[in-house]
Chains A and B, each alone.
Chain A
Amino acid sequence: MVTMSSSKNYVVEVVGVSKSYISGGREVEVLKDISFEVGREFVSIIGPSGCGKSTLLRIIAGVEKPSRGRVVFNLNRKPIIGFVFQFPTLLPWMTVLDNVILPLIATGVEKSSAIEKARMTLKVVGLGGFEDFYPSELSGGMKQRVNIARALAIEPDVLLMDEPFSNLDPLTAENLRSEVLDIWLSSILPVKSIIMVTHNVEEAVIMSDKVIILSPRPARVLKIVDVNIPRPRNRKMPEVQEMVDKVYEYVS
């Protein structure tokens, strides 16, 4: 259930969310009593493979119902949510521009202003000039940029990212990480919070303000770690390495 309230300081609150699937006649518990809050910050969720991270993200996005618990948005209206899929999920029969404007048009934005917004975000992710290309003409990294541009173009309150960098080569991933951080830190877009799912501890520590560590399935919150390291960060900083080690302790 998604409800709205406006009394506290957070943007998203996940309250006692549990989820189980019926699979092959048996009930499989995936999420168990998950609670955390997200303020105007960058939060990473980290956990073992198959523990339910994507499921949690889909519940926050409101496309899946929790079996118990709820997700509360501290906004005076329905939240706008951007979603960066694990795989680019671009429609092959549409140009880059048409892919990016699709969610805008679906919400009733007029075509000309949708195009304007799409061009802007494409420029932000470094794809200015590629508007009329088809997905098949782009590299893997470029496709993922389109995926990000599409999520940003609708000017989301909350940006959800499901392992956005895990299917890219290390160099492209590195570049794209710093670009996303730049966009986030410069506040050129009205994104209030980012929630990112990842497998990569270092990535989580370098990018986020808070790391939420989940247990193996059924996932519970093992630990929430605040990353109070000044930005810009890089992996060679001793504080970063210390923090990475600390997070690893909970993960393994």
Chain B
Amino acid sequence: MNLNELTIELTISTSLSLGRMLAAYILSLILAIVTGVAMARNKYVESILLPILDVLQSIPILGFFPAVLAVFITTLGPVAGGELSSIFLIITSLVWNMIFGVYSSIKSLDPSIDHLVAVYKLPLIHGFLYIYLPASKSSIAANSIISWAGGWFFLTSAEVISMGRVEYRLKGLGSFIIKAFEEDNTMAYTTGLLALFMVILVSYLIIWNPFTMKYTGTRTLLGFMKAYDVIDKALSKTWGFIVEKVVAAYNVVARVKIKSTHIIICSILPPLLYQYHTRLALDNSLYSKILEYGVDFLRVAPITLIRVYLVVVTGLAVSILLAYISHTRLKLGKIIVMSGEVSSSIPAMMWWPILLPLLKGFPQGVMMFVYLQGSLWYVFFNVLIFGISSLRESIIELSEIYNVKGRLYLSRIFIPSLLPSILAGGLSASGGAWNASIAAEYIVLGDLTVDMGGVGSLLNKQAQAGDILGVLSTSFFMSLVVVFINKTIWARILGKIRGYYVVE
């Protein structure tokens, strides 16, 4: 391949990957807004969806991937089906925190705004366009930073899809880099990596960072405000136009009421599960089999449980430390966050050349690294973007006037102010850690296989053996554990701090 061909190939691949990412992002955005608003506005939807989402964000979706693929590819053919499953996989890696972001920002809206909506009888569509959407803008911005990274991280897995023996490769930057790596084409490999870094850097510098700075007021980000302003203006104009047309159309077409909530519930439960359910229900020995899987699960659950929460605690400690550094030195802070944005976006497989030498001698370290990659960033961005910007000027002044410094400042002022973001991040991070267990506990690199045991390893082996019932049962038992922990521990902590930290 000469340089010219390489450039063309690379340009096409990059555009295709970017297109996939955008499609997944936009679909996730729509899903997040509709689901988040419905959950925050409707008690029943909330009570049903909240635990389901807790589970979905914790289940290692990769375990189900072969099944999803089979459905998409057999019904739509390899091209459209492959493309759809790739977008689906990217969505599963970025949608959850966006849903929770929209949900919590609408949930924390001043109750007097509810009275406003009620008194002036704002129709649902008006509430959506004029209140709920603008109200969740800052949280959408901040969460987009996390999600965008999550999407790139999964890019290679989403473009090189193996289904048992068969492998589907979608043209794109991820598969381009893998191919170059396999063919030992250093030139293509390095240019591919460079292109990847460029795309990630540029998208953060001119879109996500300025977007977030503008709507959250955070200052710990690097970005080109001027370039973004042009984009922002164009988007605002288009948006204003859309809103006006929608409202006008609404006024013309009689005021139809849509039961949006029902549609959401149906679309979020994969019809897939149902299909397997009916097929399996015929099997007589089903329950004893599930019981066997349950015993297997119990055997490996404690070790994964320990790892998951060890990772969450490590992530919290690292993030709080970095937050404190960023808080005291703004310039350094900007560099820290930018490095976080890049390192969290680097696709999983790009790390392997670096980690490979470590794998033999220090497999625990490699496992923890993969765990952290799937979990740390939720706390990192929550604390460093949302947390720091919620530190109030007046409280900082107060501590300066009364000379509150050092440990006292950290424990009485800094950490308490960050608590809401620490907890929000911690909740997502534990979901992320469960999710990462499948990749962290069972690593196959070339002819080297490292099996660290645990729930993730079990799931991975079941998925590879095509044992769908096993994957489903293990995920089910894992879901029980996750829901139990969230309901008992997290919910209690969240409930406790809610009253304390409504500062105003």
Contacts and interface: CB of A to CB of B under 8 A. Distances in A.
Interface of A: 58, 61, 63, 81, 83, 85-87, 89, 91, 93-94, 102-103, 105-108, 111, 154
B251 A91 contact: no
Contacts of B122: 102-103, 106
Interface of B: 110, 112-113, 115-116, 118-123, 126, 130-131, 134-135, 137, 244, 247, 251
B113 A89 contact: yes
A93 B122 CA distance: 17
Contact of A85 (B116, B131, B251): B116
> What 6 A-B pairs have minimum CB-CB distances, sorted nearest first?
A103-B120, A63-B118, A93-B134, A83-B119, A89-B112, A106-B122
Nearest to B125: A106
Contacts of B120: 83, 102-103, 106-107, 154
A89 B137 contact: no
B119 A81 contact: yes
A61 B117 CA distance: 12
Given A63-B115, A63-B118, A102-B130, A89 B123 contact: no
A57 B456 CA distance: 57
Contacts of B244: 111
A24 to B, nearest CB: 15
Nearest to A93: B134
Q: Mostly helix, strand, loop or mixed at chain B's interface?
A: helix
Contacts of A106: 120-123, 126
Nearest to B250: A108
A108 B112 contact: no
Nearest to A86: B112
14 contacts: A58-B115, A63-B115, A85-B115, A86-B112, A89-B110, A89-B112, A94-B130, A94-B134, A102-B122, A103-B120, A106-B120, A107-B120, A107-B121, A154-B120
Contacts of B112: 85-87, 89
Contacts of B123: 106
B115 A91 contact: no
A147 B251 CA distance: 25
Contacts of A89: 110, 112-113, 115-116
B123 to A, nearest CB: 6
Nearest to B134: A93
Which of A87, A103, A106 gathers most chain B CB within 10 Å?
Answer: A106
B151 to A, nearest CB: 27
Contacts, number: 47
Contacts of B251: 108
A105 B247 contact: yes
Contacts of A107: 120-121
A91 B110 contact: no
A89 B131 CA distance: 12
Contacts of A105: 126, 247
Contacts of A154: 120
Contacts of B113: 89, 91
Given A105-B126, A106-B126, A108-B251, A91 B134 contact: yes
B443 to A, nearest CB: 47
B109 to A, nearest CB: 10
Nearest to B123: A106
A111 B241 CA distance: 13
B504 to A, nearest CB: 11
A115 to B, nearest CB: 12
Given A93-B137, A108-B251, A102 B126 contact: yes
A93 B135 CA distance: 8
Contacts of A61: 118-119
Nearest to A110: B251
Nearest to B215: A93
B170 to A, nearest CB: 39
B333 to A, nearest CB: 25
A102 B126 CA distance: 9
Contacts of A86: 112
A166 to B, nearest CB: 15
Contacts of B137: 93
Contacts of B135: 93
A83 B119 CA distance: 7
A86 B119 CA distance: 13
Which of B112, B115, B120 gathers most chain A CB within 10 Å?
Answer: B120
Nearest to B252: A108
Which of B110, B116, B244 gathers most chain A CB within 10 Å?
Answer: B116
Nearest to A154: B120
Contacts of A91: 113, 130-131, 134
Nearest to B112: A89
A111 B245 CA distance: 11
A205 to B, nearest CB: 27
Given A91-B134, A94-B134, A111-B244, 11 more contacts: A58-B115, A61-B118, A61-B119, A83-B119, A83-B120, A85-B112, A85-B115, A91-B131, A105-B126, A106-B121, A106-B126
A188 B134 CA distance: 35
A91 to B, nearest CB: 6
Nearest to A58: B115
Nearest to A78: B121
Contacts of A85: 112, 115-116
Nearest to B120: A103
A58 B120 CA distance: 12
A87 B251 CA distance: 30
A61 B116 CA distance: 11
A89 B117 CA distance: 11
A2 B301 CA distance: 59
A94 B113 CA distance: 14
Contacts of A93: 134-135, 137
A89 B118 CA distance: 13
A108 B120 CA distance: 12
A241 to B, nearest CB: 35
A135 to B, nearest CB: 12
B41 to A, nearest CB: 15
A107 B110 CA distance: 23
A72 B122 CA distance: 23
A106 B123 CA distance: 7
Nearest to A61: B119
A234 B74 CA distance: 84
Contacts of B118: 61, 63
A107 B255 CA distance: 11
B245 to A, nearest CB: 12
A107 B113 CA distance: 18
A107 B247 CA distance: 11
